[in-house]
Amino acid sequence: MTIEKPGLDTICGAFFHKPDLNQLAIKTVKEGERYLVQDLAENTFFMLGCEETSRSKTALEQERQLLLIINKISCERQEELALPLLQLSKDQKPWFQGKDRLWTLRRYVPGISFDWRGLSANLPETESEEKQNRLSCLQYQSFCQRAGEELARLHNLSFIGESQALDQRLDLSLTVDYRQACLTRLRAQAEKTSISLGELEAILEPLIDAAVAKQERLSREKKLPAVLIHGDFHPGNFRLTEQGAAGIIDWDFSRFDSPLFDLLYSLFMFGGSFRQGKTTASLLDQTKSEAFLAGYFAAINADLKQTYQQSQIDDERALAVLALTLILIFELDFESKFNGSAKKSQLEQVKSNQEGLIKNLQMLALEQEAGKSLIHVCGFS
């Protein structure tokens, strides 16, 4: 399918040599500035155009190096993982500077994923309708277990063997400013509604403060070894093909940090019961969360698994991740209820939802005071 878009040939030409460009097939278009392209060797790539930020180019250079190292180590251990490897332009850069966009070209990661908001299947763009129907029947419980396995293998990469030097070969010491990340999300939402940013900030202020305070404490504690973590591992960023091949995308928040951050965050995103409504008494869906944990602890390196058992894992870590997750849950409510046309009268409904989220935090705190920590409930001890 050919797309009439000014400048697209120029963008493709920045990455592909002339013989390839002449027969370049644009197979699928277009959610905003997104394209799937295929070269003469039938390799499929994902082309993305985004606004440039102050650290975009530095982050892309770092991400490219990180993914190359992960790919190399995975291949050496015969644990191949599909990764969105950044391709170099003809100028030997992992981007092309367009007029108003920074363009990247990545290896396309095939497979099915799930929208984290409702766990509806995101089907591969490159598959036939018949194959999509088969993939859509993939059981989510099995998906959770495989996701747990692959997260464990990622944590293993920088913990065992020769790859212990991974953090020395790559500067991934950057930390995430969660307050700023939350405000960025809120600003994006405020642009879609008539509710002011100030009102949105006021609604979420208790959750933001809780997240920041707990994360600061988490960062000071070194009770678990720092390993390479994904930082945003959820059902939308994990892909699985019909043949069982796995892939992970969106590495923007990758860094060296406690593996518990990845594990708890992912546990809530894959197995959280928040999708069942605010009336549910449990914070986790037992079937889904047990499947995820079974996969994780079956694949985790024995030495790293032992550190979970030996460490005095405090409950603050669980609260940190829960607070961040609840912020995402609020965003889910906000998007699904307002659909871009919010009115002031709807603000009370949002506040009511937020009060329910805070009660969940308080409930967990009370359970922990009574000795029923999330760590124990999830089977870590």
CATH of the domain at 170: 1.10.510.10
Q: Which residue has the higher pLDDT, 65 or 371?
A: 65
Query: Would you say residue 26 has pLDDT above 60?
Result: no
132 within a domain of the structure (yes/no): no
Whether residue 155 contacts residue 147, with contact meaning beta carbons closer than 8 Å, is answered with no
Instruction: Kindly indicate the confidence band of residue 163, based on its pLDDT and cuts at 50, 70 and 90.
Output: very low
- Together in a domain, 155 and 62: no
Query: 270: which 2 tokens?
Result: 């894959």
- Together in a domain, 150 and 99: no
| Stretch 72-97: mean pLDDT | 87
- Together in a domain, 276 and 216: yes
Whether residue 153 contacts residue 75, with contact meaning beta carbons closer than 8 Å, is answered with no
| Stretch 25-38: mean pLDDT | 59
Q: Can you tell me whether residue 129 is helix, strand or coil?
A: helix
Query: Would you say residue 34 has pLDDT above 80?
Result: no
130 within a domain of the structure (yes/no): no
Instruction: Kindly indicate the confidence band of residue 379, based on its pLDDT and cuts at 50, 70 and 90.
Output: very low
Q: Which DSSP helix (H) or strand (E) runs through 239?
A: strand 238-240
Q: Which residue has the higher pLDDT, 140 or 172?
A: 140
- Together in a domain, 367 and 296: yes
Query: Would you say residue 373 has pLDDT above 70?
Result: no
CA distances from 43 to 19, 38, 154, 250 (A): 15, 6, 25, 20
Whether residue 105 contacts residue 129, with contact meaning beta carbons closer than 8 Å, is answered with no
- What is the reported pLDDT for 265? 81
State how far Cα 191 lies from the chain centre. 23
User: Residues 354-368: pLDDT tens digits?
Assistant: 566 556 555 555 555
The CATH number linked to 24 is: 3.30.200.20
Whether residue 278 contacts residue 297, with contact meaning beta carbons closer than 8 Å, is answered with no
| Stretch 57-79: mean pLDDT | 85
Instruction: Kindly indicate the confidence band of residue 318, based on its pLDDT and cuts at 50, 70 and 90.
Output: low
- Together in a domain, 290 and 149: yes
Query: Would you say residue 6 has pLDDT above 50?
Result: no
Q: Which residue has the higher pLDDT, 333 or 238?
A: 238
Instruction: Kindly indicate the confidence band of residue 261, based on its pLDDT and cuts at 50, 70 and 90.
Output: confident
d(CA 44, CA 126): 9
Out of 58, 84, 108, a domain closes at 108
State which amino acid sits at residue 24: L
d(CA 184, CA 138): 34
136 within a domain of the structure (yes/no): no
| Stretch 191-200: mean pLDDT | 65
For the chain, how many structural domains are there in total?
Answer: 2
Q: 176 burial class (0-12, 13-18, 19+ CB within 10 angstroms)?
A: middle
- What is the reported pLDDT for 162? 43
If one counts every other C-beta atom within 10 angstroms of the C-beta of residue 374, the result is 22
Q: Which residue has the higher pLDDT, 64 or 24?
A: 64
120 within a domain of the structure (yes/no): no
- Together in a domain, 166 and 77: no
**13-17, 206-210, 245-249, 344-348 — which one is most confidently predicted on average?**
245-249
* Mean pLDDT score of the chain: 70
- Together in a domain, 326 and 199: yes
| Stretch 26-45: mean pLDDT | 66
124 within a domain of the structure (yes/no): no
| Stretch 287-307: mean pLDDT | 87
| Stretch 161-171: mean pLDDT | 49
Instruction: Kindly indicate the confidence band of residue 238, based on its pLDDT and cuts at 50, 70 and 90.
Output: very high
Domain that holds residue 273: 142-377
Q: What is the DSSP letter of 103?
A: E
- What is the reported pLDDT for 283? 63
- Together in a domain, 259 and 370: yes
d(CA 306, CA 177): 30
- Together in a domain, 205 and 247: yes
- What is the reported pLDDT for 257? 75
- Together in a domain, 155 and 201: yes
| Stretch 292-301: mean pLDDT | 91
Looking at the chain, list the stretches that DSSP marks H as alpha helix, in order from N- to C-terminal side.
8-15, 18-22, 56-76, 129-136, 140-157, 166-169, 178-190, 197-220, 259-271, 286-299, 302-310, 316-338, 347-369, 374-377
Whether residue 172 contacts residue 255, with contact meaning beta carbons closer than 8 Å, is answered with yes
Out of 90, 108, 126, a domain closes at 108
Lowest mean pLDDT across 85-89, 91-95, 214-218, 302-306: 214-218
Instruction: Kindly indicate the confidence band of residue 66, based on its pLDDT and cuts at 50, 70 and 90.
Output: confident
